[in-house]
Amino acid sequence: MDTRGKIINGLITFLLIVLLFIPYPTSEGIYKLSYYVILLLIQTPLLGLPLLILMFAPFILLIIIFKKKMRLIKILSIIQLVFIFLISYLSIKLGIETFIKSLIILPCILILLALVQIINFKALNIKSKHVIFDNKFGMNIIVILLIAGILILLIGTFKKERDDLYYWLNQDQTGYIVSSKYNAGVTEIHIPSTYKGLPVTTIGAFYNTRNLKSITFDDNVKITTIYNDAFSSCENFEFIEIPKTVTDIGSNAFHNTKWFNNLSDGLIYINNILYAYKGDVTPGNSDIVIKEGIVEINASAFKGKGITSISFPSSLKLIEEGAFQNCDKLITISLPDTIFSISSYTFNNCINLETVNIPSSIKVIGGNAFYNCSNLKNVNFEDNSDLTNIELFAFANCSSLEAIYIPKNVSFIGNWAFYECTSLTIYLDQSTSTATFAPEWNKSSRPIIIQ
């Protein structure tokens, strides 16, 4: 085989590999092995070259070892087809987007394979009108391999996990997160309890899967978490029985879905979570009482609602980020001693909030927790407070706040924590060291009194 023939043969064979690999990265993103192979070949030639050499080593060895041209052609044909067979199998194991794609790819493979054989024949100066099917032996081998390859494509397509889902490991690699592939035609999805021997623990993104109507689960599913915006804008989504194992639901997880819109107005409870307040708050229902047994108030649960007061249950453990943001009718808040932190943005922009009573159990006040509470006058810390951290912008723009007594255990105050608190005097315990505070914690240079 002359150099030109070898180069053309190699290029066409490489096109076969690309044809099999290229369609698949989009179906499972960067988690596709094929995606990394192609990137390796294209972006890192120094690493990709040894891989190419390894791929074509059998061809090179056969050209050197075998002298009989017809025998070489048969062996090259078989090896090329076996290679395609193996790549097809690997592609199925990694996942194929749709059965239609398989039907489109197979004829293309056959055409390119025929071109490879034509190059082989011409390069070896063999005259044959039958190209691939040059004799009975060769035809039998090739037909058997092609049938086997097609069967693998068909069986793999129908027996593998559903193509409308993909999975990836969670951070500690103890379970899988499941998401959709944004297939607009999907109407029903069933989520299994396990995938590859590990539990499915988290619902990721089904955002904007517009025709999705229902999701069902295995009876023994161990889902614990539903991500932010998980089903947001799934406009036709109307059925889900949320597993009892779910303990964490992200904000707006069911925003703009039929399921949520069909719920009655008022407090929405999911398992032991207060998920949201649905509908408008009127003067007759502005005093909120959360029932016992609830352990978490979801992020943005009351955002922008006109509530005037709230009573917390003794079972409460966590108030998520922004839960009462923009609640401009709240005047007084007494937090329960069962929670250990005030999350970021919890009372952000509650412009009429005047008094906050903070129990000794609170250890952290998150960033922007009381930002722009412009009427806040009293921040009362319970005796023997465990508070250690006040994060950045925590009380920024609290222009009515005249005094704050920092508990003695506080070891960190973030930058601009009291920025634009124009009336404020800060009281520190004599045992408190500011050496561990952020450099611009008192950016507005408010007076400090040590006592």
pLDDT for res 212: 87
Those residues whose C-beta lies under 8 Å from the C-beta of residue 363, and which sit 6 or more positions away, are 340, 341, 386, 387, 388, 389
- The model's confidence at residue 14, banded by pLDDT at 50, 70 and 90, is low
In terms of pLDDT, which residue wins out, 334 or 126?
334
**Which pLDDT belongs to residue 53?**
52
Topology agreement, domain 162-262 and domain 265-451: yes
CA triple 295-346-364, angle to 5 deg: 80
Enumerate the domain spans of the chain: 3-159, 162-262, 265-451
Least confident of 82-96, 253-267, 283-297, 383-397: 82-96
- Tell me what percent of the chain is helix, strand and coil, each rounded to the nearest 5: 30, 20, 50
Q: What is the pLDDT of residue 435?
A: 94
The token pair at 11 is: 């290029």
Mean local confidence (pLDDT), 48-53? 49
CB 372 within 8 Å of CB 396: yes
Instruction: Assess contact for 268 and 278: CB atoms under 8 A.
Output: yes
State the first-to-last Cα distance of the chain, in angstroms, to the nearest integer. Answer: 93
- Which pLDDT score is estimated for 41? 42
Window from 59-73, 89-103, 185-199, 344-358 with minimum mean pLDDT? 89-103
pLDDT of 30: 31
- What is the pLDDT at residue 180? 84
On the question of pLDDT at 436 being above 70, the answer is yes
Residue 443: which pLDDT band, with cuts at 50, 70 and 90? very high
Taking residues 321-346, what's their average pLDDT?
A: 96
Of 136-145, 193-202, 211-220, 365-374, the range with the highest mean pLDDT is: 365-374
Q: Which residues pair with 274 in a beta bridge?
A: 269, 297
- Mean pLDDT of the 262-279 span: 95
Q: What DSSP string describes 273-325?
A: EEEEEES---GGG-EEEPPTT--EE-TTTTTT----EEE--TT--EE-TTTTT
182 vs 26, higher pLDDT: 182
Instruction: List, in order, residues 6 or more apart from 73 with CB less than 8 Å away.
Output: 117, 120, 121, 124, 126, 134, 138
Confidence check: pLDDT of 294 > 80: yes
Judging by beta carbons within 10 Å of its beta carbon (0-12, 13-18, 19+), is residue 42 exposed, middle or buried? exposed
- Give the pLDDT of residue 171: 87
Three-class SS state of 137 = helix
Q: For 393-417, what is each residue's pLDDT tens digit?
A: 999 999 999 999 999 999 999 999 9
For residue 186, the model assigns a pLDDT of 76
- What is the average pLDDT across 145-150? 50
Q: Which CATH number fits domain 162-262: 3.30.420.40, 3.80.10.10, 3.40.50.300, 3.40.225.10?
A: 3.80.10.10
Class of domain 265-451: alpha beta
- The residues, ordered by sequence, that sit 6+ positions from 333 with a Cβ below 8 Å of its Cβ are 310, 324, 347, 353, 355, 356, 357
For the segment 353-381, the average pLDDT, to the nearest whole number, is 97
| DSSP codes, 8-23 | HHHHHHHHHHHHHHTT
Percentage of the chain beyond pLDDT 90 is: 52
By three-state DSSP, how is residue 189 classified? strand
> Which range, 74-88, 99-113, 358-372, has the best average confidence (pLDDT)?
358-372
Q: How far apart are CA 426 and CA 116, in angstroms?
A: 81
The model's confidence at residue 348, banded by pLDDT at 50, 70 and 90, is very high
Query: Would the pLDDT of 100 be above 60?
Result: no
Please tell me what DSSP assigns to residue 351.
Answer: T
Measure Cα distances from 414 to 27, 119, 194, 341, 417 in Å.
44, 71, 43, 15, 6
Does position 182 have pLDDT exceeding 80, yes or no? no
- Render 37-72 in DSSP notation, one character per residue: HHHHHHH-HHHHHHHHHHHHHHHHHHHHH---HHHH
Per-residue pLDDT, 322: 96
Q: Are 327 and 356 in contact (CB under 8 A)?
A: no
C-beta separation of 441 from 419 below 8 A = no
Torsion of CA 374, 377, 383, 385, to 10 degrees: 10
Predicted local confidence at residue 184, as pLDDT:
53
**Residue 26: pLDDT over 50:** no
Mean pLDDT for the chain overall: 77
Task: Check whether 28 has a pLDDT greater than 70.
Answer: no
Contacts of 3 (CB under 8 A, 6+ apart): none
- Write out pLDDT tens, residues 212-266: 899 999 989 999 999 998 998 888 899 999 999 999 999 889 988 999 999 999 9
Predicted pLDDT at 210: 78
56-82 pLDDT, tens per residue? 454 455 455 544 555 555 555 555 555
CB 356 within 8 A of CB 336: no
| Nearest alpha carbon to residue 328 among 305, 344, 310, 360 | 305
Strand order in the sheet with 332-334: 332-334, 355-358, 378-381
pLDDT band at 285 (very low <50, low <70, confident <90, very high): confident
Rounded Cα distance between 246 and 232, Å, is 18
| Alpha-carbon 351 to chain mean position | 35
Q: pLDDT class for 10, splitting at 50, 70, 90?
A: low
d(CA 370, CA 351): 9
